[in-house]
Amino acid sequence: MNAVMMNAAMKTTTLGPSGIQCSAIGLGTWAMGGWMWGGQDSAAATQAIHASLDAGVTLIDTAPAYGLGASERLVGAALKGRRHKAVIATKCGLVWHTQQGTHFFDEDGHPVYRHLGRASIFHEVEESLKRLQTDYIDLYITHWQDSTTPVEETMDALLSLKKQGKIRAIGVSNVDAPTLAEYLRHGPVDAAQERYSLIDREIEQTLLPLCGRNNVAILGYSSLALGLLAGPIDPARQFTGDDQRATNPRFSAANRTRLQAFFDELEPLRRQFGCSFGQLMIAWTLASGSVSVALCGARTRAQATENATAGALDLPEEAVQRIDDAASAHLKALA
């Protein structure tokens, strides 16, 4: 057992004006759907969900687009008998049942569109409720924004679902500040889910001030930058199949060498806190004060437990500064 596991309990937070409380570490389930991650293992994914709950994680984040419903089905099956212990976040706005909106990508032979029209959202929520085997969704998030639908229409649909009790809170994702401001003109937004990690900090200047003024919780996704910040990666490792990391320039052999120097510099700090590099990066994400929840993907029990345990690690200001300094020295080329 490492030192972190003997530390305090999981930190908790509140999702904006909704008052919903959840863990400061959230389980991200994109990879569990298999799409863009080189396939999936349902049994291992189920174990990862159970391990997260056992380790104090309550927020489970999923989406219909993660494997065209595969991730939601996994989450629903894994939470049977334990639904009351979870805060489920899922999404709308990436659709394959209609060709309205704007074509975004193809997944498993299906064209997927960005569309946030009222009728489409009502259709999507019913499909998600079936897959998740529940009668309500805690946090319902617009996954990607739709330039063809007025925000007022989208927000009206979400507020209607909230009145009906089918969702408890409203979130947005992959949004710019003007669009978020438009959402806020029509009602409360409880959370914004945005990419955030040690090497992805753009929202500090763009969205954070607006969110702070309006009590919008920030859910930071890709806290480990698709695994890049989880620890040293062998430069010879190959990513296969449809694994997005195979073509991601951040995972080049040169960048993996830069990362090795970064982790070498932080090795004394890692030993000091008795944690893994991944736990150190997740703890930095929370200690930075920019996000309410650090979303961390996992596909195995071991990964889920390791990520969750970082929710009990407190980093003092000097440790946060050492990590920032090491990132400035070695990771500028990755950002």
How many residues does this entry show for the chain?
A: 335
**Tell me, what's the pLDDT at 8?**
62
Q: In sequence order, what are the residues at sequence separation of 6 or more whose Cβ sits closer than 8 angstroms to the Cβ of residue 197?
A: 220, 222, 223, 224, 225, 229, 281, 285
* Spatial separation of the C-alpha atoms in residues 112 and 98, rounded to whole Å: 9
Other CB atoms within 10 Å distance of the CB of residue 35 = 21
Q: List pLDDT tens digits, range 75-92.
A: 999 999 999 999 999 999
H or E stretch at 173: strand 167-173
Structural domains of the chain, ranges and CATH numbers in brackets: 12-228+286-315 (3.20.20.100)
H helices then E strands: how many in the chain? 11, 13
**Mean pLDDT of all residues belonging to the chain:** 92
* Closest to 86 measured CA to CA, from 204, 149, 168: 168
Q: Mean pLDDT check: name the lowest of 63-67, 175-179, 223-227, 265-269.
A: 223-227
Q: Are 182 and 200 in contact (CB under 8 A)?
A: no
Pinpoint the alpha helices (H) of the chain: 42-54, 70-78, 118-132, 151-164, 177-186, 203-206, 208-213, 253-273, 277-287, 301-309, 317-330
* Spatial separation of the C-alpha atoms in residues 274 and 91, rounded to whole Å: 36
Question: What residues does 61 pair with on adjacent strands?
Answer: 28, 89
**Residues annotated as part of the active site:** 66
pLDDT over 70 (residue 144): yes
pLDDT over 80 (residue 39): no
Q: Are 242 and 35 in contact (CB under 8 A)?
A: yes
First vs last Cα of the chain: how many Å apart?
A: 34
Q: Are 211 and 194 in contact (CB under 8 A)?
A: no
The DSSP call for residue 225 is G
Q: What is the largest CA-CA distance in the chain?
A: 55
* Spatial separation of the C-alpha atoms in residues 333 and 335, rounded to whole Å: 6
Q: Are 299 and 28 in contact (CB under 8 A)?
A: no
**Tell me, what's the pLDDT at 97?**
97
**Tell me, what's the pLDDT at 6?**
39
The pTM of the full predicted model, rounded to 2 decimals, is 0.92
* Spatial separation of the C-alpha atoms in residues 292 and 320, rounded to whole Å: 17
Burial of 81 (C-beta count, 10 Å sphere; 0-12/13-18/19+): exposed
- State the angle between helix axes of 42-54 and 70-78 in degrees (0 to 180), rounded to the nearest 10: 50
In this prediction, residue 308 has a pLDDT band, given cuts at 50, 70 and 90, of very high
Kindly state the average pLDDT of the residues 183-196.
98
* Spatial separation of the C-alpha atoms in residues 311 and 294, rounded to whole Å: 9
Q: Are 223 and 195 in contact (CB under 8 A)?
A: no
* Spatial separation of the C-alpha atoms in residues 46 and 129, rounded to whole Å: 18
pLDDT over 70 (residue 28): yes
Q: Are 284 and 315 in contact (CB under 8 A)?
A: yes
* Spatial separation of the C-alpha atoms in residues 84 and 138, rounded to whole Å: 11
